[in-house]
Structures are given as C-alpha cells and as structure tokens.
Amino acid sequence: MEIKIEGLEAKIGDTPILRGVDLTMKSGEVHALMGPNGSGKSTLSNVVFGHPSYEVTGGRVLVDGEDILEMEPHERARLGLFLAFQYPVEISGVTVGRFLRRAVEIRFEGEKEVRTKGFLKDLREAMDFMEIDQQFINRYLNEGFSGGEKKRMEILQMLMLQPQFSILDETDSGLDIDALSVVARGVNKLRDQDFGALIITHYQRILDHIKPDYVHIMYQGRIVTSGGGELVTELEKSGYEWVREQYGREEEVHE
Amino acid sequence: MKNNTVGEVFTGVDGLGNYIQSLPEPDWMRETRMAALKRFNEVQWPDTAVEEWRRSDISSYDFNAYNMRGAKQSAVADPADPPKDAELAGSIRFEGPDAVATSLDSELAAQGVVFEPLSEFVLQNSANHSGSITKATKAVRDLIMDSINKADNKLKLWHYAGWTHGVVLYVPRFIEIKKSFVLDFLEDGDAVLSAPQIFVVLEEGARVEVIQRVHGADEGEVLLNESVDIHIGDGAACRYVALHNLNIDSSSFGTTLARIARDGHLHHGIAAFGSMFTKYRVDAELNGPGSDVLLDGIYYPAEDQHVDLRTVQTHFAPKCASHALYRGAIRDEAHGVYQGLIYVGEEGSETDAYLTNNNLLLNDGAQADSIPCLQIHTNDVKCSHGSTTGKLNRSEVFYLASRGFSPEEAEEILLQGFYEPIVARLPGAVQEEIRELIAERFVPVQTL
C-alpha cells in the first residue's frame, strides 16, 4: 500500500491547522512524525481517517492512487488502514471479545470462515503477547482501563486486524518504560513488507524501541524537514528550539 | 367447576359494580373488590396538578369506552400436566383474560408451591385445600388490602375493584427454585380493558425468578391496568422481570409494589417498549434490616410514544441497600419521563441508596425529563442520585468507524451497549429477546 499525501490543508472551525502537508509512505516502511505540541501531528492522523470535526480545505490523500478524502471513515479503514488513538474512547456495554470478533469479521470479510474460526485462539495468543489479562475479553472496551491498558488495547486491536498501514498517534505518551516496550513489541511483530506505520510522537523514547526508516518533523502545519535516524539524535540534543528558529514563519505564528 | 358468565361484557367504569357482582367469587375476594370500589368512587382521576402525573396527562382518556370481562374458568388446562419446557419451573399463558395453558413442575407442586391462574385460585378457596393454599390465600388477601390502603390514585383502585385475571405464585419456606416461572400475556381485542393482577409470595428463605411478558396483537386498542404485588419474607430472594410490548395503539398503566422483609432481596426489571402511552410505577419497600433492592429499567420510545416510569425506594429499616438504574434512548417525537424517589424514614439509619437515570436523545425532537428526588429523615445515610441526558457520542462512532464499522452498525452497537449493563444482569431467558427488541426498533441517526 502506498499513501501519498499532497498539499493537505485542513482547519477546525476557523483555525487552519494543516497548511500543506506532503508525505509519501509505503507498506514495509516505518515513518516517525515528530514535532512540538500544536504542530498538527494529531490533526494529520484524524484528517487521514476523516474525523468529522476537521474540514479539509485543500490537497489530496491518495491510497494506491485513489483519493480517499471523499470516503467515509469506515471505508478508509476497510482499505487496510488503522489508527491507534492517542485517547481511545470508552465503549460501554460492548465487550472486548464481541467488539474484536466483529471487527475481525469486517476486516477479513472475504475470508470470514478461516479468520473467525480460530478467532478466540488468535485473540488469546495476541493478549499473551501484549501481556493483557484474558479477563479483559469480557470487559467493556476501555471502560475503567488505565491509560497504559488502553494503549495496549489499541495495539492488540492492530495485531488482530493486521492493517497494511497503521498510524500510531502518540501511543507512547503516558506510558512507563515497561508498557512502552510491550507496545513497541506489538508494532515490531507486524513489521514486514506488508505492513507500514507512521509513528506520531513528541519524544524520541519510543524510537529507541521501534527504529524508523524515515523521520519527519512537523511544524506549524507543514512537514519542514525529513531524514533518517540522525534527525532523532539531533532533536534529542537540541530539542525543538532549532526547528522554530530554522523553520518558523513569523506571520503564521499565533498565540 | 362453576363457570362465570362467559361472554357477558361490562363497560370499564360504570359497569364496575355489576361486573363485581357477576363474578362467582367467594366473599373474601368480593369484599376486597368492594373496598376498592368504595375508595374508587371517592377519589378523582389523577390530573397534572399532582406532581407524579404532571407530565402524563390522562384527561383525554374516556375510561368508560373500554370493555372488560372476567376470565373463563373452563379454558384452563389441567395443572397436573407436566411442564412442556423442562427448563421452566412453571408457566402460564393467557390470551386475553383466559389462561390457555398452565404448567407447574410436579416436584414443586409436591413441595407446596402454588402456581395457578388467580381466578381459579380464588374459586378453589371455597373447596378443600392444603395448608399452602390457606397460607397463600391469607397472604393474597393481606397484599390486596395493603395495596388498596396505600393506593394514591384512582387507576390503582379501579384495578383492585375490577381486576380481570392474574396469577398467584406462592413459595413455602426455604424452597429455592433455580428455574424460572414464565407468565405470558397476549392482549387481544379492541377497546378492551385488561387488568391482570399478579401475586408473588415468598415465605422465609424462598427463592424464585419470574419472567412476565406482555405482548399485544398487531391491531386493536388495549388499555392495560396491571398490578403486581410481591411479598418477600425474611432472607427470601425474588427476581422479577417484566417485558411490556403492546401495540402502538394501546396504553399501559401499572404498578408493582414489593415488600421486603429482613435480609430479603429483590431484583426487579422492567423493559417498556410498546404502547402509545405508558405510566408505570415500581415501589420497593425495605421493611426489614439488611434487605436490598435493585431496580432496573429500560425504555426506548419512538414516534409519538410517551413513557413515564417512576421508581420509589422506601427505606423503613436500618442497614438496607437500594439501587435503581433506568436507561432510555428516545427518538422521533417521543417523550421519556423518569421520576425516582429515595425515601428514608426515621428508622433507616445506615441506608445505602442511589438512583441513576441516563437518557439518550437520538434526534432534536425527542424529549427526556429526569426527576430524581431524595427525602431523608435520618442521619447516617449514604444516598445519591445521578442523571444524564445526552446524544449519541460522535467520537465513539468515529472510533468504531476507524475499525471498519459502518456508521449504522456503530450506532446500533453503541445503542445496544447503552442498555447492555442492565440487560446483561437480567435473567438469561429474556436477554436475547430484549436485545432483539432493541435491534428491531433501531433506526440510524442520519435517517432521523
């Protein structure tokens, strides 16, 4: 799968957030998207998935050549895209088991028989791998979960749904080092030619566990520079201050 | 067996006295009807000046327009028949006021459990009968008189004067019954008054589960005016779930009053789906220390439906717990009303009580009123209430969409999920039925 974002502009209310994002990613690649708070990283993930709060004002998002911006969110998901939420919502009254069984059915509709037959076995294995207690199968999705449990649940869903490309929106935020390594283990497990990921993060910490092939830095609604792992090292050393100095546009800075 | 005057029909209110006289009932029952009739004649129909009826205006009803007749005695199947469904402790099925099938597990019958149509039970009282029947008769009479004395509105008194059919379930001391009793009411006919009366009497340590299903024919206007009286003895436990699904031309009035003695338990549930107009009240009286009560309610009014449900948790003894959870999703032009009262008397120290009401308004025309109320006359209590009224959460829909769920399916899952914490703790036998009724009524928000 190839995702090609071209000149993407979006606003929430009257406030422009994305001001022309260009980014090309493929299955088989792991990209990191870094940047200071408020630079538009999470907006990018929401806009790619069609969150109704954002209005796209320009540009295209092509998935294997097809513009997905006119598609409904669920249609985008069914292409094989996955979004691990920064703040997963609680779905009361819907158990993890029931929710995932149906999600797997939808994802693998053509091969339903095969996939749903071994569903519970697969789920249990994936839960073991993510160090999630099996009792969570019968709990309501995310209801009463700790922050770390919610993030692990996102990755568990990703393992079960096997997307071709996944956007992880600040999955590392609020995680202690143990939880972080479990989350990273989940991502690394899927890592192969048929899986790509965009890891959105404020910190370099998660990138010690998931080595990105490409690193992009976002600032004021644009990707201002891209490179390899050396960018992470640079950020670690100097913080985001040099990004502001080098790429900040005075006229667009608003408080 | 004597037959009553099958086929003779009486009009709802004016014919009440003649109706009572026509019934071949023994004096003790007729006296209760006459006592109710006397008070009935003394009080006015509830109007919107009364807080409990403020949002449910019944002034447009012509209660004389509904006809009633008593149950046929001859239609009753032989109670000695073994249950058709071995999974059930017993079942009774009514078509209109007539019991067309009845069964009771023979072992339970041998243990003194009484389970039969009320009109038959009342008639048998004049014949020879066992100790259980005598105790049951006394309990039934006491419950009726207690309810008449406490009745604070004319509809309830109308019911006790003119009940048309019903059920008695009496469980002797320490008989614990794991299987369910099922009461099926199929309401049929047009401009018909149906006034079923159900008694559940549990002696000390008894345990029982009752499922009541009220269904209507597709057409015909039925006026339901039911009453359920429950007595839960020391340490006894009762689960009672009522599923109401009359057609949209019908109206449902009713009350359930449960009296719970020391260390007794009640789990009551009501799922109100049908009827254009519903006004139902569930009273739980915690009369003995250590007793506890759980009151569950589900409603899902649509179109022009009006559903007004009230719960009353009355603490007359110390160290009791009571919780009420009522949830309703409301769409179209429908109106949902929930009124909840926690009353703690002077004797109710160390009470633990709360009530919660959650409403989902599925579109702009839908309306919800939530009126919780606490009246506390002692210190050292833990009482609270919470109510929420909101819309379907778009963030949750988006989350599910990001996993491939269509908006329609996402909304249906969220709606089922809204009710699920209640549904999942009701008896297994009704869970699927309730989920299916919710699914049948579901309409995606975009199309509203």
Residue whose token pair is 């359920």: B228
Least confident among B4-18, B84-98, B415-429: B4-18
Contacts of A78 in chain B (CB under 8 A): 404
Q: Give the end-to-end CA distance of chain A in Å, rounded to a whole number.
A: 38
Asked if residue B332 belongs to a domain, the reply is no
Q: Give me the pLDDT at residue B2, please.
A: 40
Q: Are B136 and B231 in contact (CB under 8 A)?
A: no
Shortest alpha-carbon distance between residue B321 and chain A (Å) = 24
User: Does A73 lie at the interface with B, CB-CB under 8 angstroms?
Assistant: yes
Residue whose token pair is 């590392």: A172
Q: For residue A97, what are the CA distances in angstroms to A145, A156, B411?
A: 15, 12, 18
Query: In this predicted model, what pLDDT tens digit does every residue of B412-434 receive, in sequence order?
Result: 999 999 999 999 999 988 999 99
Q: Give me the pLDDT at residue A128, please.
A: 96
State the average pLDDT over residues B25-49. 93
- CA nearest A75: which of B398, B405, B444, B397? B405
Asked if residue B412 belongs to a domain, the reply is yes
Shortest alpha-carbon distance between residue B26 and chain A (Å) = 51
CB contact under 8 A, B401 and A161: no
Asked if residue B328 belongs to a domain, the reply is no
Contacts of B424 in chain A (CB under 8 A): 93
Radius of gyration of chain B, Cα coordinates, nearest whole angstrom: 22
Asked if residue B274 belongs to a domain, the reply is yes
Residue B414 tokens, joined: 């969220």
Q: Give me the pLDDT at residue B224, please.
A: 97
Asked if residue B147 belongs to a domain, the reply is yes
Residue A52 tokens, joined: 């109704």
What span, in angstroms and rounded, lies between the C-alpha atoms of B236 and B229?
A: 15
Residue B146 tokens, joined: 């207690």
Residues B163 and B17 in one domain: yes
DSSP B231-285: EE-TT-EEEEEEEEE--TT-EEEEEEEEEE-TT-EEEEEEEE---SEEEEEEEEE
Strands B196-202 and B165-171: parallel
Question: Which of B287, B313, B343 is the last residue before a domain boundary?
Answer: B287
Query: In this predicted model, what pLDDT tens digit does every residue of A182-221 receive, in sequence order?
Result: 999 999 999 999 999 999 998 888 999 999 999 999 999 9
Torsion of CA B199, B201, B206, B208, to 10 degrees: 10
Residues B262 and B148 in one domain: yes
Report residue B199's pLDDT band, with 50, 70 and 90 as the boundaries: very high
Residue-averaged pLDDT of chain B: 92
Contacts of B388 in chain A (CB under 8 A): none
How many domains, in total, are found in chain B? Answer: 2
Strands B335-344 and B306-315: parallel
Overall pTM surpassing 0.95 (yes/no): no
What span, in angstroms and rounded, lies between the C-alpha atoms of B292 and A72?
A: 49
A225-255 burial, b if ≥16 CB within 10 A, otherwise e?
Answer: eeeeeebbebbeeeebeebeeeeeeeeeeee
Residue B82 has pLDDT above 70, yes or no: no
* % of chain A residues with pLDDT over 70: 96
Residues B275 and B402 in one domain: no
User: Does A67 lie at the interface with B, CB-CB under 8 angstroms?
Assistant: no
Question: Which of B256, B287, B318 is the last residue before a domain boundary?
Answer: B287
Sequence-distant (≥ 6) Cβ neighbours of residue B373 within 8 angstroms: B339, B340, B341, B342, B385
Query: In this predicted model, what pLDDT tens digit does every residue of A88-131 receive, in sequence order?
Result: 999 999 999 999 999 999 999 877 666 667 899 999 999 999 99
Q: Give me the pLDDT at residue A200, please.
A: 96
What span, in angstroms and rounded, lies between the C-alpha atoms of B298 and B430?
A: 13
When CB atoms are compared, the residue of B395, B407, B417 closest to A94 is: B417
When CB atoms are compared, the residue of A85, A88, A93 closest to B420 is: A93
Residues B187 and B40 in one domain: yes
Asked if residue B340 belongs to a domain, the reply is no
> Residue A13 region, left (φ>0) first, then alpha (ψ -120 to 50), else beta?
left
Cross-strand bridge partners of residue B41: none
Report residue B7's pLDDT band, with 50, 70 and 90 as the boundaries: low
Residue whose token pair is 């073991």: A128
Q: Kind and range of the H or E element at A34?
A: strand A30-34
Asked if residue B428 belongs to a domain, the reply is yes
**3 state DSSP class of B435:** helix
Contacts of A89 in chain B (CB under 8 A): 393, 395-396, 399
* Residue from B393, B397, B403, B423 whose CB has the most chain A CBs within 10 Å, to mutate: B403
Residue whose token pair is 């502001």: A244
Q: Give me the pLDDT at residue A251, please.
A: 52
**3 state DSSP class of A118:** coil
For residue B180, give the DSSP letter.
E
What span, in angstroms and rounded, lies between the C-alpha atoms of B264 and B234?
A: 5
User: Does A138 lie at the interface with B, CB-CB under 8 angstroms?
Assistant: no
Query: In this predicted model, what pLDDT tens digit does every residue of B204-247 receive, in sequence order?
Result: 999 999 999 999 999 999 999 999 999 999 999 999 999 999 99
For residue B77, give the DSSP letter.
P
Question: Which of B287, B309, B324 is the last residue before a domain boundary?
Answer: B287
Q: Are A226 and A216 in contact (CB under 8 A)?
A: yes
Torsion of CA B40, B44, B50, B54, to 10 degrees: 100
When CB atoms are compared, the residue of B395, B402, B421 closest to A93 is: B421
A&B contacts, CB < 8 Å: 75
Long-range Cβ pairs for the range A202-208 (8 Å, 24+): A202/A34, A202/A35, A202/A36, A202/A37, A202/A170, A202/A173, A203/A172, A203/A173, A204/A34, A204/A232, A204/A235, A204/A236, A205/A172, A205/A180, A206/A171, A206/A172, A206/A180, A207/A32, A207/A232
**Side chain identity, residue B153:** N
**B238 lies in which domain range?**
10-287
Report residue B104's pLDDT band, with 50, 70 and 90 as the boundaries: very high
For residue A137, give the DSSP letter.
G
> Residue A114 region, left (φ>0) first, then alpha (ψ -120 to 50), else beta?
alpha
Q: Kind and range of the H or E element at B339?
A: strand B335-344
What span, in angstroms and rounded, lies between the C-alpha atoms of A16 and A252?
A: 10
What span, in angstroms and rounded, lies between the C-alpha atoms of B76 and B167?
A: 12
Domains in chain A, please, with CATH? 2-87+163-252 (3.40.50.300)
Query: In this predicted model, what pLDDT tens digit does every residue of A28-69 receive, in sequence order?
Result: 999 999 998 889 999 999 999 999 999 999 999 999 999 999
User: Does A85 lie at the interface with B, CB-CB under 8 angstroms?
Assistant: yes
For residue B427, give the DSSP letter.
-
What span, in angstroms and rounded, lies between the C-alpha atoms of B312 and A129?
A: 49
- CA nearest A213: which of A227, A203, A194, A234? A227
Residue A174 has pLDDT above 70, yes or no: yes
Q: Kind and range of the H or E element at B313?
A: strand B306-315
When CB atoms are compared, the residue of B403, B421, B424 closest to A77 is: B403
Asked if residue B381 belongs to a domain, the reply is no
